[in-house]
Structure 1
Amino acid sequence: MLIRDAKSDDWDRIWPFWQRIVAAGETYTWDPDTPEPAARALWMAPANRVFVVEDPEGAVVASAYLRPNYGGPAAGIANAAFMVDPERAGRGTGRRLAEHVLEQARADGYTGMVFNAVVETNPAVRLWESLGFRILGTVPGAFRHPVHGTVGLNVMFREL
């Protein structure tokens, strides 16, 4: 498994699983009907450092971005988002990508990382906790989950 910085032409290989994940409406606060140009602008924004994971055959199976969560004097706190192709879930890809992004964030000079809105029913909460993130608080009833109904959004943080 190769983890590398994304190139602009990687978007065409990210979009299919990005669209499936966001359209499911279970894990991200983005509009499930986000059109491709808007999704590209969001994920591949110039302020984002984007990574991809390639399997041994060269298929892009996951992606993440890393960026400052705040600006100015608080720009040392990172934010990131992660997506693993649902067909490749459960194989350790998300953990490897997360570890890589955390290492890159440290190397880039960030002192902490915050996730602003982790759906509390998202199985990734366990991954983040196992990687040292803690829940700072939960916004109750902030997310309309298509299966679980109204659930909370966790704010999670860890020092780097």
Structure 2
Amino acid sequence: MSNGQAAVFSMANIRSYKPEDWSQLWPLLHFTFAAGDTYAFAPESTEAEIHRVWVEVPTATYVATAADGRIVGTYKLQPNQPGLGSHVSNCGYVVAPQARGQGIASAMCSHSQAEALRLGFKAMQFNFVVSTNEVAVSLWRKHGFSIVGTLPGAFQHRVHGYVDAYVMFKTLAA
């Protein structure tokens, strides 16, 4: 799709995860984590491990769907910390490789902020944005997130070796 068509994908294409979505979601997550370039999950993480961290632990999990119902993206939303830090949310996002560049991550970011506010969160923090994931860093900045910290050499990239990871933050409500 061209950039002009990217706006076609909207928050209306995003819904809550349902158990029957797992058969489509697992291959997408497995492919992404096995690549070893954007997430700290071990590339050999099992299906049960990923199901636990993406579906069972979060406050909510969402999927982005194409017009034909195929899952083209997903995100999870949860408190960044327990107790006195639980007013700050945390998200993780994944877009299917064949669906990148269509505005899906941007729509999920907007959706996640609205959902975080609806659920009572006051801010959102991304704990571990890999510095070489320039597309994500740029997109999160466009959505109002700031880099508030750099973790030197914190990510062991499969191609580039040890690279920095960023902590990014945005206040959602006063």
TM-score w.r.t. structure 2 length?
Answer: 0.89
Structure 2 gap segments, 5+ residues each: 1-8
2:167 is matched with 155
User: Of 152, 161, 165, which residue of structure 2 is paired with 1:140?
Assistant: 152
User: Of 41, 47, 58, which residue of structure 1 is paired with 2:69?
Assistant: 58
TM-score w.r.t. structure 1 length?
Answer: 0.96
Percent identity over the alignment is 37
For 2:169, give the aligned amino acid: F
Q: Is the 8 A contact 2:64 2:108 kept in 1?
A: yes
Inter-partner Cα distance in structure 2 for 1:11 and 1:138: 34
Inter-partner Cα distance in structure 2 for 1:103 and 1:144: 32
1:84 is matched with 95
The offset of 1:46, in angstroms, is 4.3
Structure 1 outlier segments of 4+, above 6 Å: none
Inter-partner Cα distance in structure 1 for 2:58 and 2:30: 21
Inter-partner Cα distance in structure 1 for 2:143 and 2:61: 20
Q: Structure 1, residues 35-57: CA drift from partner, whole Å, max 9, x if none?
A: 11111111001443000011000
Q: How many residues align?
A: 160
User: Of 96, 108, 130, which residue of structure 1 is paired with 2:119?
Assistant: 108
